Amino acid sequence: MDHYASDASAVVEELDLRNVIHVGHSTGSGEVARYVANHGQSQGCVAAAVLISSVPPLLVKTDAHPDGVPIETLGGFREKLTANRSQFYLDVPSGPFGIRAFSETDQTEDLLAIAVPRSSSRETATRSFPTRSPR
């Protein structure tokens, strides 16, 4: 997520944008959260953040997040993506995304650090992923 947030920061700086409302969907909401928490607020560029059907703050199972998805499950996603990318996108209706970026990045602190107005919407459950935060 760091490189996505850095890219967003570079674009905002280059275009000298101010009071921007950043909107992200799914993995893009993680990018918005990371950007706002680590770049945008300190640059004074962010008016608000909108996170739509956002990825959970942390998806993968860890000691701090025992209810997460086992890394082996995510490894299967990676293997299928590497073996046949086109078929993978047909098989997974949510489309292309960075599996490692959205599954192994803990964004709990990013979400806690956002001080600008934020609107979030997320399903209460999906077939693939839990929605509980590690905290």
Tens digits of residue pLDDT in 38-77: 898 887 889 999 988 877 778 888 898 888 888 887 777 7
CA neighbours within 13 Å on the CB side: how many for 92? 20
- Measured distance CA(29)–CA(86) in Å, rounded: 24
Residues 122/53, Cβ–Cβ less than 8 Å: yes
- The pLDDT score that the predictor gives to residue 127 is 45
| 1 three-class SS | coil
How many distinct helices (H) and strands (E) make up the chain? 7, 3
Counting as low any pLDDT under 70, the low residues of the chain are 92-100, 102, 122-135
Pick from 100, 96, 50, 55: which is nearest to 78 by CA? 100
- Measured distance CA(79)–CA(135) in Å, rounded: 30
Q: What angle do CA 24, 28, 31 make, to 5 degrees?
A: 100
Residue found by looking up tokens 């967003």 in the block:
8
- The pLDDT score that the predictor gives to residue 102 is 66
Angstrom CA distances, 71 to 41, 67, 100, stand at 33, 12, 10
